[in-house]
């Protein structure tokens, strides 16, 4: 581990080092904007078959590393595999997104599987991690991940993505005992899932709380901060050397103090906060990741270059991993990704 910290730039930044050039990777770097991804996905048949096929999932994880030489690879999988491993039905509707069986009553919760059963479903994911550790270049860090309990719960409750997470908020109001029991089950499953990814070779793990922004005040503390702190403490107890990235997307002021409240080593930022603000309010507590608007990957040009340089500059006085503020979209131009990387690395 010590040697790795000295050689891999992502691990150096996560250990708190300010580097002359920030290391870089990109959310959804394996995805539909890449023709080679679309080809492998077609070969797999559908999205879930791709996730559960270790050879092909490793292949799509490696594609953006070969094409661009990112400093980190992120395991190809999805946050919704945990609900499926807990017994929820999961399918993807082409052009629309994920669909799951819903949890609205105690009887829906009672049929979920125990946490100890998740590995029966998730074993192929650990195999993908093992393949990647063998095949990745020496300098490339492997990131594992899971969804945060609140974000995963929003999908399990509603049965799909929702613009305002209304059904999850309704359950929180209407049956808080059931809501909290569901969050506790997901939290326990997430600890086991991330731990197994680490045992298989993940060097960093990231917790995606994509819908944290809809939790306000006390609810943010209880359902975004506290579960992330619980997962972090459990992972650190078992794997003290593994850095953790937290991503409470659109948390706004909730980003302030997120490092110390949860124990994560790095806070990932969406692009609704400015890099100057983040330098003053968040990076003072540790490493930050982000936060170029993913729309620049569609529009490109001088605006992309200017904004990339501005973010690098604003966050240059502390530990920083360059990334987008959210995942790259399917309509992005792969050449804009190259321009972003060249701009970051030109200093
Ligand atoms: O058709 C396709 O090929 C499916 C598109 C796709 C991809 C490429 C989905 C469906 N998931 C993924 C992979 C994925 N998902 C990764 C792989 C690693 C990488 O970044 O390259 C990761 C980390 C995720 C995480 C994920 N899945 C999140 C959290 C991050 C985020 O984007 O906010 C969420 C919310 C999901 C759910 C999900 N899976 C897929 C879609 C389209 C969605 C969002 C659905 C919705 O809210 O309506």
Q: Which domains does the chain have, with CATH numbers?
A: 4-346 (3.20.20.210)
> Residue for token digits 């326990």?
188
Distance in angstroms (rounded) separating the CA atoms of residues 74 and 129: 10
Determine if ligand 1 sits within 6 Å of the CB of residue 290.
no
**pLDDT at residue 2 in the model:** 47
Atom of ligand 1 nearest to the CA of 29: 21
Determine if ligand 1 sits within 6 Å of the CB of residue 152.
no
Determine if ligand 1 sits within 6 Å of the CB of residue 145.
yes
Atom of ligand 1 nearest to the CA of 210: 33
Distance in angstroms (rounded) separating the CA atoms of residues 251 and 269: 9
pLDDT level of residue 4 (50, 70, 90 thresholds): very low
| Residues in contact with 227: Cβ distance below 8 Å, sequence separation at least 6, in sequence order | 148, 149, 150, 183, 186, 187
Determine if ligand 1 sits within 6 Å of the CB of residue 167.
no
Res. 182: pLDDT tops 60: yes
- Three-class secondary structure of residue 147 per DSSP: strand
Please return the burial class of 120, using the count of CB atoms within 10 Å of its CB with bins 0-12, 13-18 and 19+: exposed
**pTM for the whole thing?**
0.97
What is the full DSSP assignment across 172-203? HHH-HHHHHHHHHHHHHHHHHHHHHHHHHT-S
Instruction: Name the strand (E) or helix (H) holding 341.
Output: helix 334-346
Res. 171: pLDDT tops 90: yes
**pLDDT at residue 194 in the model:** 98
pLDDT level of residue 95 (50, 70, 90 thresholds): confident
CA of 234 to the centre of ligand 1 (A): 25
**pLDDT at residue 62 in the model:** 98
**pLDDT at residue 294 in the model:** 98
Are 269 and 246 in contact, with CB atoms under 8 Å apart?
Answer: no
> Residue for token digits 């092909």?
56
Atom of ligand 1 nearest to the CA of 32: 3
**What is the average pLDDT across 325-341?**
98
Res. 3: pLDDT tops 60: no
Annotated catalytic residues are 28, 32, 41, 78, 155
Question: Percent of the chain scored above 90 by pLDDT?
Answer: 97
**pLDDT at residue 206 in the model:** 98
Closest residue CA from atom 4 of ligand 1:
47
pLDDT tens for each residue of 123-168 = 999 999 999 999 999 999 999 999 999 999 999 999 999 999 999 9
pLDDT level of residue 64 (50, 70, 90 thresholds): very high
**pLDDT at residue 94 in the model:** 86
Instruction: Name the strand (E) or helix (H) holding 345.
Output: helix 334-346
**pLDDT at residue 6 in the model:** 54
CA of 153 to the centre of ligand 1 (A): 15
CA of 78 to the centre of ligand 1 (A): 6
What is the full DSSP assignment across 289-330? EEEE-TTHHHH-HHHHHHHHHHHHHHTTTS-EEEEESSPPPT
Q: Does residue 170 come out as left (phi exceeding 0), alpha (psi in the -120 to 50 range) or beta? A: alpha
Question: Closest by alpha carbon to 296, among 286, 306, 284?
Answer: 306
Determine if ligand 1 sits within 6 Å of the CB of residue 27.
yes
pLDDT tens for each residue of 278-291 = 999 999 999 999 99
pLDDT tens for each residue of 244-277 = 999 999 999 999 999 999 999 999 999 999 999 9
């Amino acid at each position: 581990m010590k040697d790795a910290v000295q050689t891999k730039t992502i691990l150096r930044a996560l250990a708190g080092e300010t580097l002359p050039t920030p290391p870089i990777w990109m959310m959804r770097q394996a995805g539909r904007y890449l023709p080679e991804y679309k080809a492998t996905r077609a070969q797999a048949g559908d999205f879930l078959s791709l996730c559960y096929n270790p050879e092909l999932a490793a292949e799509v994880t490696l594609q953006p590393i070969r094409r661009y030489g990112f400093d980190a690879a992120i395991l190809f999988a999805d946050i919704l595999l945990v609900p499926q491993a807990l017994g929820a039905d999961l399918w993807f509707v082409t052009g629309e997104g994920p669909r799951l069986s819903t949890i609205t009553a105690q009887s829906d919760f009672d049929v979920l599987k125990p946490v100890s059963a998740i590995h029966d479903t998730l074993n192929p994911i650990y195999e993908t991690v093992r393949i990647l550790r063998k095949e990745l270049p020496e300098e490339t860090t492997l990131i594992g991940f899971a969804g945060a309990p609140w974000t995963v719960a929003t999908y399990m409750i509603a049965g799909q993505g929702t613009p305002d997470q209304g059904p999850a908020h309704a359950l929180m109001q209407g049956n808080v005992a059931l809501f909290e029991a569901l969050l506790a089950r997901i939290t326990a499953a997430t600890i086991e899932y991330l731990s197994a990814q680490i045992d298989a070779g993940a060097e960093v793990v990231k917790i995606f709380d994509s819908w944290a922004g809809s939790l306000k005040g006390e609810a943010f503390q209880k359902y975004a901060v506290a579960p992330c702190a619980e997962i972090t403490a459990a992972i650190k107890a078992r794997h003290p050397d593994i850095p953790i990235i937290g991503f409470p997307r659109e948390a706004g002021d909730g980003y302030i103090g997120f490092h110390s409240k949860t124990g994560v080593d790095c806070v990932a930022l969406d692009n609704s906060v400015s890099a100057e603000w983040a330098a003053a309010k968040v990076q003072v507590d540790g490493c930050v990741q982000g936060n170029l608007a993913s729309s620049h990957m569609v529009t490109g040009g001088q605006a992309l270059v200017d904004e990339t340089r501005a973010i690098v500059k604003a966050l240059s006085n502390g530990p920083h991993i360059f990334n987008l503020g959210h995942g790259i979209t399917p309509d992005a131009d792969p050449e804009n990704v190259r321009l972003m990387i060249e701009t970051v690395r030109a200093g």
